[in-house]
Structure 1
């Protein structure tokens, strides 16, 4: 890379960034000179990467994640590392060890999570594009709450190499942007095969969004407009779906019966995988050095108690319990059966429709500290986790407001038909701008 270096100094009154980088200017590449923010659980060579956790404070990776390597090759400038819920565990970005991120649309509200810092950086105008990660809605939730666009790609389409793992079978790195075109451009850069990631498939993305959706069939699941969905949010989304009909699409009522078990299946699966993945943070392999003069189990407990926040400890304990002797079959095995039922329901619906549409989130952005108990927080993910369980692409695009706050329209598609969900989102966006 060539060129001089200038200082990227955002007006970060929203605590969107944990680290701000020098911004090199250079020529060449699809993203030449474009500042792209990177979520702080994605490894960046020479730049501190903490997952918003005390246990990784001061950790500087010796290598770039595959997606970051591709960003650099495209000419993009890494603007900095964005705030997040610790290790990706949360829906508000209040679980960060370094303070919450504020929603630029209303600083008394959360930006969503766990990629809240990336969403806030875009919504406030500090950057046009950012990378987030989505385990159960962590790109789409903050996109909806902050009034931007975010895509959870099909599982396997974007490399996970260099992503600090939370729940391997669910999470994906994905693009976030001010517009659908920005998201599509960033997806062109980061998608494709990576030999370092065993889940990566040779599915590059070279698509340019098209607004033509005439004749397309859109499934409308009744479960996405049921109990718990704010009527004002539902009204905004239904109006957006009506606009898609005006553009020539046909809507088809449908049902996802497995939604009844999706949230439970998700939280059993992700906590079990978290219990396994986070075992490495023990004061020996990663984390602050343990006191070697103490018995191993005492030193291990002290490092993890001091390093992990409340929500991370909660999910580790839940996962460890579900995987323990005598409980594996009662919890984890049953969760995988439920997960397969979710996948089959989507497969059945997609035999008759091209995409599925509904709200991204059941409510507008919560007020800071509003969701004080874990259960109410977990319930907020009910509309986003099914796409992760099935591994299908899902995008959130702004579709109006409720009580003055942004509402997101979620479009889901068949596995590896990311192009189609982007086209539907683009068609709607172009019709309302």
Structure 2
């Protein structure tokens, strides 16, 4: 088995922040009686629900599984259509396919890079069942407009907030504003459980479906059983999946959640330094500064004005990598992946998303960075831009 060797002094675009309290929390579980589904699961779910302000939270093995569970709970099935953004990770659309439904891609707002409510309205048909807006990079989407559209057309809203735990919209934390909201706990996210995801909701019916869905469709709830043969008795009532989180993951998540606000504040500090450094570069468009909410800054994405440069986005990207700056690109519009092309999607569907993809670069941003790391990134970006600046 071979592993990717990380270059010395290489700064990744994202990385977990783990300290001794996190390690001790996991060790405590390893020394206890439960490794899989135990008391830490419920505590973690309560911790997240309390943080965002919902009645319920249901943990999953990863964010994609959580989105799948939300689609099931929403009753999305074969023949339905679900509108989502093209500018996202594939999971935001894959979860629709898992239920036999059809993802419909709406274009982005050219300023915020989030899904454009005006294009959502254009894509609604009698088959539309739900909307999955994505808080891209941690910037809150225009939920006021999306909720109005959903109300008018009787649609369910499932927020993909994989990037956005801790973000706020109109004074409220993302996570308690729609029918369901998904958060991800992958290591590059704000807090991590190794792998993991969660759905928050205020809807008891969705909550009960999610609980069963993540565990093979099985229930021991006496109120839900078709019959009761005794204390040992349980029933599989529909075809669910094994999507459970472990107590090991949950313990890490509980420990990480205690530091979430600190992590977000550090991200915001570094964003301020980036903005101050790059605002004088005419070749760079800075990320959108939200009016109706506060971003949690999962990603810091700059957009290159390639018409002002003698080189391409690829040239700038490679120049930064040569300086050990671990830049990335988020994302290739979902429907341009070969699999989706095979389903009949084609280029030109979302012109704004495609244009953004050709010009964007994600810079390193995570709490474990130092101010020296931030200055190294700034210096490398300026050097790369200067090298390809048109005379």
> Structure 2 length as normaliser, TM-score?
0.32
User: Highest relative contact order (Cα 8 Å, sep 6+), 1 or 2?
Assistant: 2
> Structure 1 length as normaliser, TM-score?
0.29
Structure with larger Rg: 2
